[in-house]
Structure 1
Amino acid sequence: MYTLYILRCKDNSLYTGIAKDLEKRLEMHRAGTGSKYVRAKSPFAVVYTEKCKDRSSATKREMAIKKMSKEKKETLVISPPTRGS
């Protein structure tokens, strides 16, 4: 199981990533050993998470979200889709 996550950084930007172990990945970001982007824009808050069955589906979803406009990402964060509807 993978987790797709979105972080809101101090400049109000949104960072999208995936992790097999979300807590471990967040610790890496906090320690400054995660992505360069988050390191430069810390502190951050987790504003969205989504479970994915495998790395392939998580990567595809990550790419789809990264292609979204900031407005669409904000809508996703505010009103996440319900599963199974």
Structure 2
Amino acid sequence: MKGWMYILLCSDGSYYTGSTHDLELRLAQHQAGEGANHTKQRLPVQLTYYEEYDRIDLAFYREKQVQGWSRKKKEALMNSRDEELKKAAECKNETHYKFYDKER
């Protein structure tokens, strides 16, 4: 069964990331207030991005991956800005190998 991972823009400017086996139905459910609690309180919503998968479990896995991303990283994905996406994905803490000082 096919699946989709999708990102909605809510009326308050927040993003909602979900997955489904029927994208049209799920969007209608969100718009009718039958979706997630997050979207119920932030109607109307607008589909801003989606990815199609051969299996629903792959879409669900991708949903969980993208849910953990920062707003900046999600926007880079939605706008197909690959370089920004790579940069947003980089580790920036001081323990990252790029910042490792061998002399310490």
Q: Where do residues 14-29 of structure 1 align in structure 2 (5 Å cutoff)?
A: 14-29=15-30
Matched, 1:10 2:11: yes
- CA distance 1:62–1:80, shift in 2 (3 Å): farther
Structure 1, unaligned stretches of length 5 or more? none
- CA distance 1:71–1:47, shift in 2 (3 Å): same
TM-score, structure 2 length as denominator?
0.73
Question: Residue in 1 aligned with 2:45?
Answer: 44
Deviations 1:38-84 (A, max 9, x none): 01011111000100111221111011101111110011111177xxx
Deviations 1:16-47 (A, max 9, x none): 01111111111111111111110101111100
CA distance in 2, matches of 1:30, 1:68: 24
> Does the 8 Å contact 2:7/2:18 carry over to 1?
yes
Count of paired positions: 81
- Of structures 1 and 2, the larger Rg is shown by 2
Structure 2, unaligned stretches of length 5 or more? 83-104
TM-score, structure 1 length as denominator?
0.88
Q: State the superposition RMSD in angstroms.
A: 1.3
Matched, 1:72 2:73: yes
Percent pairwise identity:
37
CA distance in 1, matches of 2:60, 2:22: 15
> Does the 8 Å contact 2:3/2:57 carry over to 1?
no
The structure, 1 or 2, with the larger RCO (C-alpha pairs under 8 Å, 6+ apart) is: 1
> Hey, which bits of structure 1, 4+ residues long, moved more than 3 A?
none
Q: In structure 2, what residue type is equivalent to 1:19?
A: T
Q: In structure 1, what residue type is equivalent to 2:64?
A: M
CA distance in 2, matches of 1:64, 1:40: 24
